[in-house]
Chains A and B, each alone.
Chain A
Amino acid sequence: MWGVVGVAVVVALTFIGSDRLVWFDAALVGYLFGVIFAVFGVAYRYAVWLRRPPTAMLNRRGWEAFRQRKARNIAALPSLVATHLLTQGFIRRRSRARWLAHQLVFWGCILAGLVTIPLTLGLLHFESVGQQADRYQVYVSRVGTLRFDAESILGWLIFHALDIAAVLVLAGVFIFLRRRLRDPGAMAVERSGDFLALAGLFAVSVSGLFLTVSSMWLEGRFYSALNTIHALTVILGLMYLPFGKLFHIFQRPGNLGVAYNKRANAEGEPAVCRRCGEPFASAQQIADLKEVLPQVGFDYSIDGGGNYQDTCPRCRRALVTLAQSARVGGFG
């Protein structure tokens, strides 16, 4: 259902935003179908993901925590978005090279998305200013905004925004690829999907750059074939988005819910270990786990009352050790 709603929103946005398709570029219709498929797939998978019992619980608790102290939480949102989603310090602390690569790919894709998606949906177009062939104006739907000189630095940056995005993405892809091919730790746990995502980003970026090469230095030779290849890579990439590794783009904002939830839990009652009597987590989170575990097929309740999940992790390790040592008679 959410997939259909997503598609309806995109179609409505395209129709209204392009001024009843007046500014819709028919040459980009393939890309539009790619976007529609991606929106459907992402919304569908997101809805399925939210149905998993632990995800549903976290989703509920995250929003509850957000609503509990709405003013404070809204005020905290910009800094949370900046640290948890945009600057990605948690990756930098793991490895500077990986952080740099991720930032390059991240900002490259954001830039490319900001240019191409509005163009594809007909929300954005360019018009000449009067009879001046070298001056352009950016139109958002039918509202005229920025005017610029095609020969200016700003003009160059605008017309080459996708080339810049491609160079950023490629730089990131090569850093990632170097690690994937050389780091023994990464090589031991990597999966085919890790390479598929990099191959997709590489194909889209390189085929896009070749369009610029063709138009600037080859007098447009091979442009039509290159255009088809580029469109194919982008559309396949959009179709891969909901099902492959890149779905984490849409999962990661869940981390904000976790941050709000953690803050609310820290202010609530602590859970106390049934063995050592020390606080070890939030009582709410332990109660939630005890509710979720039976839903996913586990029963940690104890005959005679109580639940093993009320034991702190340290005591769990001690209990396993004591039980094992008791079943060994002596020096083994």
Chain B
Amino acid sequence: MSRGRFGIDDSPVFVIDQSRCIGCEACVQACAECGTHRGQSLIHLERVDRATSTQTAPMVCMHCEDPTCAQVCPADAIKQTEEGIVQSALKPRCIGCSNCVLACPFGVPKYVADFDQMMKCDMCTDRTSEGLTPMCASVCPSEALWYGTIKEFNDTRSGSLFRDFMFGRQEVRTKVYTVIDDALGGPLDVLAGVTRTWLDDPFGLDHVQATS
């Protein structure tokens, strides 16, 4: 009997919408409960600039279609499943060089010095393989981390699902989706020089003050 919420034909997707994050850290706690890396929280959650912004930056593995981490691994320790999940380093192979930690465009893998190996988010393979929601998405109160079918997303959320990123000249397509409003605006250019987002003035008060 399946315990899962999703059936084999549902094809649920993982969605990360950083703009919704409220920095509660529930995901950080939940991540450490994942069966494939019990006790180690592998999700990232930081404040972008505590002095000037309330913006927090959660980051799970985006599961790139052509993962940079795997390509720069000298031990060939990072493997991708048929479903496109980029797995944590194979423990017998990883030699702890940190190439993946430094090369990942999203800054995801962690080098765990105690174990002398890299560990990273594997989208809770133990749960998702049984049709369950990943730990972080199951506890996120603001749905910044969300897991469900594309139909569910379209029925309940605004914005468009998007998964193309530009890092300098390098375009990266991921399995995990993000959310943007202008889907026709081309890949999400990470180096567009953004220092301020709508969150810094969510109600447009700066604009009102400037015009009065």
- Residue A93 interfacial (CB < 8 Å): yes
Contacts of B35 in A (CB 8 A): 183-185, 188
Residue count of chain B within 8 Å CB distance of chain A: 78
A322, B191: Cα distance in complex, Å: 9
Asked whether, in the complex, the Cβ of A302 is within 8 Å of the Cβ of B169, the reply is yes
Asked whether, in the complex, the Cβ of B107 is within 8 Å of the Cβ of A316, the reply is yes
- Residue A286 interfacial (CB < 8 Å): yes
Interface string of A259-293 (1 = CB under 8 A from B): 00100000000000000000001000110010011
Q: A296-B71, A318-B57 are in contact. Are A324 and B114 (CB under 8 A)?
A: no
Select the stretch in A33-41, A206-214, A249-257 that faces chain B.
A249-257
A105, B192: Cα distance in complex, Å: 53
- Residue A248 interfacial (CB < 8 Å): yes
A225, B16: Cα distance in complex, Å: 61
Tell which of B74, B159, B202 touches A58, judged by Cβ atoms closer than 8 Å. B74
Asked whether, in the complex, the Cβ of B194 is within 8 Å of the Cβ of A307, the reply is no
Asked whether, in the complex, the Cβ of A90 is within 8 Å of the Cβ of B114, the reply is yes
Asked whether, in the complex, the Cβ of A314 is within 8 Å of the Cβ of B95, the reply is no
Contacts of A292 in B (CB 8 A): 72
- Residue A151 interfacial (CB < 8 Å): no
Q: A57-B74, A289-B103, A297-B71 are in contact. Are A325 and B55 (CB under 8 A)?
A: yes
Asked whether, in the complex, the Cβ of B129 is within 8 Å of the Cβ of A325, the reply is no
Select the stretch in B6-14, B24-32, B175-183 that faces chain A.
B175-183
Contacts of B65 in A (CB 8 A): none
Asked whether, in the complex, the Cβ of B122 is within 8 Å of the Cβ of A317, the reply is no
Asked whether, in the complex, the Cβ of B189 is within 8 Å of the Cβ of A323, the reply is yes
Contacts of A185 in B (CB 8 A): 34-38, 126
Tell which of B17, B18, B126, B202 touches A188, judged by Cβ atoms closer than 8 Å. B126
A90, B202: Cα distance in complex, Å: 48
Asked whether, in the complex, the Cβ of A301 is within 8 Å of the Cβ of B169, the reply is yes
Asked whether, in the complex, the Cβ of A313 is within 8 Å of the Cβ of B198, the reply is no
Asked whether, in the complex, the Cβ of B71 is within 8 Å of the Cβ of A300, the reply is no
Contacts of A296 in B (CB 8 A): 71-72
Q: A289-B103, A301-B169 are in contact. Are A254 and B95 (CB under 8 A)?
A: yes
Q: Which of A292, A297, A316 has the most CB of B within 10 A?
A: A316
- Residue A178 interfacial (CB < 8 Å): no
- Residue A78 interfacial (CB < 8 Å): no
Contacts of A327 in B (CB 8 A): 180-182, 185, 188
Residue count of chain A within 8 Å CB distance of chain B: 66
Q: A55-B74, A299-B170 are in contact. Are A322 and B103 (CB under 8 A)?
A: no
A301, B108: Cα distance in complex, Å: 20
Contacts of A73 in B (CB 8 A): none
- Residue A231 interfacial (CB < 8 Å): no
Tell which of A49, A183, A298, A321 touches B170, judged by Cβ atoms closer than 8 Å. A298
A176, B173: Cα distance in complex, Å: 37
Interface string of B30-60 (1 = CB under 8 A from A): 0000111110000010101100000111110
- Residue A155 interfacial (CB < 8 Å): no
Tell which of A84, A251, A317, A323 touches B75, judged by Cβ atoms closer than 8 Å. A251
Q: A49-B76, A321-B18, A324-B18 are in contact. Are A299 and B168 (CB under 8 A)?
A: yes
Q: Which of B91, B97, B98, B106 has the most CB of A within 10 A?
A: B97
Q: Which of A315, A322, A329 has the most CB of B within 10 A?
A: A322
Q: Which residue of B lies closest to A280 (CB)?
A: B102
Asked whether, in the complex, the Cβ of B202 is within 8 Å of the Cβ of A94, the reply is no
- Residue A331 interfacial (CB < 8 Å): yes
A308, B168: Cα distance in complex, Å: 6
Asked whether, in the complex, the Cβ of A54 is within 8 Å of the Cβ of B197, the reply is no
Contacts of B180 in A (CB 8 A): 324, 327-328
Q: Which of B88-104 contact A (CB under 8 A)?
A: 88, 91-93, 95-99, 101-104
Interface residues of B (CB under 8 A from A): 17-20, 34-38, 44, 46, 48-49, 55-59, 66, 68, 71-76, 87-88, 91-93, 95-99, 101-108, 114-117, 122, 125-127, 129, 157-159, 165, 167-170, 178-182, 185, 188-192, 194-195, 197-199, 202
Could you list 17 examples of A-B contacts with CB < 8 Å?
A54-B74, A90-B117, A93-B114, A188-B126, A245-B92, A254-B74, A293-B71, A293-B72, A293-B103, A318-B49, A321-B19, A322-B197, A323-B191, A324-B17, A325-B194, A325-B198, A332-B157
11 further A-B contacts with Cβ under 8 Å, apart from A52-B74, A94-B91, A313-B101, are: A54-B73, A90-B114, A93-B114, A185-B37, A186-B36, A188-B35, A281-B102, A289-B99, A301-B168, A320-B106, A325-B199
